[in-house]
């Protein structure tokens, strides 16, 4: 199947890619998206994928304003621009813990240089790791790993290039996605989550109303969507009822009150945040390792083939669309980064420790790249992998006797580098997927990723210091949920009170699922993420299943639906970035209508049904065409 794939721009055709226009636009977007997503992630614990918004902005500027016809130039803008969002996501999951400890008087506030250098190390490692992995994950598994956001980004750019009905589907979806996102999260006129409490079962069912989630389920298909939903069912309809039913008056760490009191005061969501997230983290870590073991032969073969390219192996193609960065440069750069990590005082590790960081970073980057291939960057549970990294790093430091402030700082620094590397590898793989479909030159995209990483790293330190100064991490204004959990895990290991029982419950759930012959990774992701995400993704998967069955021409079974869903993702992503900027500028409160418009489950349910109906209708609209 992969040998027959033909990109939009043939390999023998040379067209503009990295130009001054695309480079400058990409750098600006990398900084803007990095800053906006840093705030958004610290506020709500989730970031917005920037690939599609960057692609849409570049398309508007290059095609509409500058009147240039260069799809690969627009692709380069999104490649560089999306690096800022991914680097910001990795940084805010970990490094705010340093600021919280500083406010508690445990250590000094981290310097601008420390934050910048750690972000730069992790970002560059993530990009370099994807060079030898590109062939295995993007080329050889084309058609196996859907890379929903990378595919959607390609569809958006192609629709803008080809115009006509394809463009109409995408841009109608964009308008609708943007409108819904603005009404729900901007005006706050409709609540973002439909929730029903099920007291008899001691749990609740919830689903988010956002069109991007339905779109992800539609693009991924029913199989992956159902696996994720199954994980959600295990968490919310098996584990939470069991904990509430049998926990009673028992006080289980990490909560400081009894299970019964916790459920009575805060509901099933509190049980999930205090217990199920640990179980989910164990499941994701275990499933990630299983996934890595299963794909290790392919990854090793690909890496060996890439190294052979140093000697001019004839097995590597010289086609433009197959050219990667020179492996001599990549290996030399990784070697330099190992030495730099060892020498940099902000990451207190030995030379062997620096090598181990890079090895773990490579493994988790490979797993992260497969994860985003399954569920997309927005749903990539990098924090689960970071938890696994922090557990191992903190235990090693404790065994070595480094248990004080120095040890805690070292654990966070190690976790930050690996977390950022995993985020960047996931983003790079999505971008390379887009380029593979369009016919971009991988080498130029990889250079673009490096440029975007450097720009974002130089900006993220100042942004984090500014936000901490203005609001304070770990406060009601900037909760920094992931970083707060990382801090709690490190303290738990150092003090010897981490809930290992919960973590190993998750480990054995993923092992049991794998024994049944089911891919444990999407199930574990569903267990780790809130049910409201996987439920809406499942709805999209169900729509795709119905459409696939009803369309007569299997070769064109979901074309218009994928285009429409790509537009929904793009529209929501654009407004997500806009609302993040509104929040930074203080405009959010001025447009918030929640105090004057009553919200509830009924409007949210109606909105979900309307979105689902529109996706179905659009996908089925041309069912009689051949």
304, pLDDT greater than 80: no
Mean per-residue pLDDT for 85-104? 90
Residues pairing with 145 in the sheet = 142
**In-domain check, residue 2:** no
Mean per-residue pLDDT for 372-393? 74
- pLDDT-based confidence at 557, cuts 50/70/90? very low
**In-domain check, residue 12:** no
So what's the pLDDT on residue 160? 75
417-455 tens-digit pLDDT: 999 999 999 889 999 999 999 999 999 999 999 999 999
> Is the distance from CB of 167 to CB of 570 less than 8 angstroms?
no
Put simply, whether the predicted model's pTM sits higher than 0.85 gets the answer no
So what's the pLDDT on residue 452? 95
Whole-number Å distance between alpha carbons of 33 and 11: 31
Instruction: Compute the residue count for the chain.
Output: 626
Can you tell me which residue has the tokens 């500083």? 102
Mean per-residue pLDDT for 523-551? 89
So what's the pLDDT on residue 114? 93
Domain count, the chain: 1
So what's the pLDDT on residue 313? 41
So what's the pLDDT on residue 450? 96
Mean per-residue pLDDT for 491-511? 87
**In-domain check, residue 525:** yes
Cis before 254 (ω within 30):
yes
155-192 tens-digit pLDDT: 888 877 766 555 677 788 889 999 999 999 889 899 88
Mean per-residue pLDDT for 285-313? 67
Q: How many CB atoms lie within 10 A of CB 245?
A: 13
More confident residue, 67 or 391: 391
More confident residue, 312 or 500: 500
**In-domain check, residue 473:** yes
15-51 tens-digit pLDDT: 888 999 899 999 998 988 888 778 777 876 666 677 7
- Between the alpha carbon of residue 252 and those of residues 261, 275, 487, 490, the distances in Å are 11, 9, 19, 18
**In-domain check, residue 14:** no
- pLDDT-based confidence at 124, cuts 50/70/90? very high
Please give the span between the terminal C-alpha atoms of the chain, in angstroms, as a whole number. 22
558, pLDDT greater than 50: no
CA 442 to chain centre: 21
**In-domain check, residue 7:** no
More confident residue, 164 or 67: 67
317, pLDDT greater than 80: no
So what's the pLDDT on residue 513? 95
- pLDDT-based confidence at 380, cuts 50/70/90? low
Mean per-residue pLDDT for 514-534? 88
- At residue 553, what are phi and psi to the nearest 5 degrees? -95, 105
Identify the CA nearest to 53 among candidates 500, 581, 623, 474.
581
So what's the pLDDT on residue 315? 47
So what's the pLDDT on residue 626? 38
**In-domain check, residue 3:** no
So what's the pLDDT on residue 127? 96
Q: Which domain holds residue 507?
A: 20-620
- pLDDT-based confidence at 319, cuts 50/70/90? confident
So what's the pLDDT on residue 554? 47
**In-domain check, residue 173:** yes
Angle at 50 between CA 47 and CA 54, to 5 degrees: 160
- pLDDT-based confidence at 350, cuts 50/70/90? confident
Mention every residue, 6+ apart, whose C-beta is less than 8 A from residue 186.
575, 578, 579, 582, 588, 591
Mean per-residue pLDDT for 100-108? 88
More confident residue, 455 or 256: 455
Least trusted range by pLDDT, from 11-25, 286-300, 342-356, 404-418: 286-300
- Between the alpha carbon of residue 319 and those of residues 11, 142, 437, the distances in Å are 6, 18, 15
CA dihedral sign, ordered 562, 145, 571, 207: positive
For 304-325, give the DSSP string. Answer: HHHHHGGGT-TTS--SGGG---
570-618 tens-digit pLDDT: 788 778 878 877 877 778 888 888 887 877 899 999 999 999 999 999 8
For 165-231, give the DSSP string. Answer: HHHHHHHHHHHHHHHHHIIIIIS--S-SEEEEEEGGGTEEEEEE--HHHHHHHHHH-HHHHHHHHHH
**What is the pLDDT of the chain when averaged over all its residues?**
84
293, pLDDT greater than 90: no
Identify the CA nearest to 381 among candidates 495, 242, 533.
533
So what's the pLDDT on residue 38? 83
- pLDDT-based confidence at 303, cuts 50/70/90? low
């Amino acid at each position: 199947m992969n040998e027959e794939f033909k990109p939009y721009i043939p390999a023998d055709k040379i067209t503009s890619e990295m130009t001054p226009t695309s480079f400058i636009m990409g750098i600006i977007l990398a900084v803007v998206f990095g800053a906006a997503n840093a705030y958004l992630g610290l506020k709500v614990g989730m970031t917005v994928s920037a690939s599609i918004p960057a692609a849409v902005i570049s398309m508007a500027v290059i095609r509409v304003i500058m009147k240039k016809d260069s799809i690969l130039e627009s692709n380069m803008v999104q490649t560089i621009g999306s690096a800022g969002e991914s680097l910001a996501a990795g940084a805010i999951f970990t490094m705010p813990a340093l600021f919280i400890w500083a406010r508690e008087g445990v250590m000094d506030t981290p310097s601008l240089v420390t934050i910048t250098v750690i972000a730069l190390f992790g970002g560059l490692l993530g990009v370099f790791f994807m060079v030898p992995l590109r062939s295995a994950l993007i080329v050889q598994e084309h058609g196996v790993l859907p890379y929903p956001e990378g595919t959607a980004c390609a569809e958006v750019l192609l629709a803008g290039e080809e115009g006509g009905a394809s463009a109409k589907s995408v841009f109608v979806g964009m308008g609708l996605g943007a409108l819904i996102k603005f009404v729900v999260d901007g005006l706050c006129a409709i609540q973002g989550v439909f929730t029903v409490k099920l007291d008899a079962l001691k749990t609740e069912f919830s689903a988010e109303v956002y069109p991007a989630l339905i779109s992800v389920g539609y693009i991924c298909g029913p199989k992956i969507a159902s696996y994720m939903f199954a994980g959600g069912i295990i968490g919310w309809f098996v584990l939470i009822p069991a904990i509430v039913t049998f926990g009673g008056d028992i006080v289980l760490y990490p909560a400081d009150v009894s299970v019964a009191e916790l459920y009575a005061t805060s509901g099933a969501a509190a049980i999930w945040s205090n217990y199920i997230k640990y179980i989910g983290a164990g499941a994701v870590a275990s499933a990630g390792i299983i996934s890595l073991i299963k794909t290790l032969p392919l990854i090793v073969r690909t890496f060996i083939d890439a190294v052979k390219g140093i000697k001019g192996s004839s097995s590597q193609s010289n086609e433009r669309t197959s050219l990667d960065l020179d492996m001599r440069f990549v290996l030399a750069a990784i070697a330099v980064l190992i030495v730099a990590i060892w020498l940099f005082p902000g990451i207190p590790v030995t030379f062997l420790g620096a090598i181990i960081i890079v090895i773990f970073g490579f493994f988790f980057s490979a797993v992260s790249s497969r994860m985003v291939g399954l569920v997309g960057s927005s749903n990539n549970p990098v924090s689960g992998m970071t938890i696994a990294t922090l557990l191992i790093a903190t235990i090693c430091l404790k065994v070595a006797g480094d248990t004080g402030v120095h040890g805690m700082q070292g654990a966070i620094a190690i976790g930050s580098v690996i977390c950022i590397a995993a985020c960047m590898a996931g983003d790079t793989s999505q971008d390379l997927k887009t380029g593979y479909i369009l016919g971009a030159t991988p080498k130029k995209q990889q250079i673009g990723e490096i440029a975007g990483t450097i720009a974002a790293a130089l900006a993220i330190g100042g942004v984090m210091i500014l936000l901490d100064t203005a609001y304070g991490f770990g406060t009601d204004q900037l909760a920094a949920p992931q970083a707060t959990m990382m801090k709690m895990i490190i303290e738990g290991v150092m003090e010897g009170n981490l809930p290992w029982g919960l973590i190993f419950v998750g480990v054995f759930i993923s092992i049991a699922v794998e024994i049944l012959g089911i891919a444990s990774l999407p199930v574990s992701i569903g267990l780790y993420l809130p049910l409201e995400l996987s439920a809406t993704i499942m709805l999209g998967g169900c729509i795709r299943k119905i459409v696939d069955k009803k369309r007569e021409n299997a070769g064109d079974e979901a074309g218009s639906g994928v285009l429409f869903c790509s537009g929904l993702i793009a529209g929501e992503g654009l407004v997500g970035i806009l609302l993040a900027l509104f929040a930074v500028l203080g405009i959010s409160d001025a447009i918030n209508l929640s105090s004057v418009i009553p919200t509830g489950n009924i409007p949210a349910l109606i909105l979900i049904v309307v979105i689902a109906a529109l996706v179905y209708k659009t996908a089925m609209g041309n069912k009689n065409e051949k």
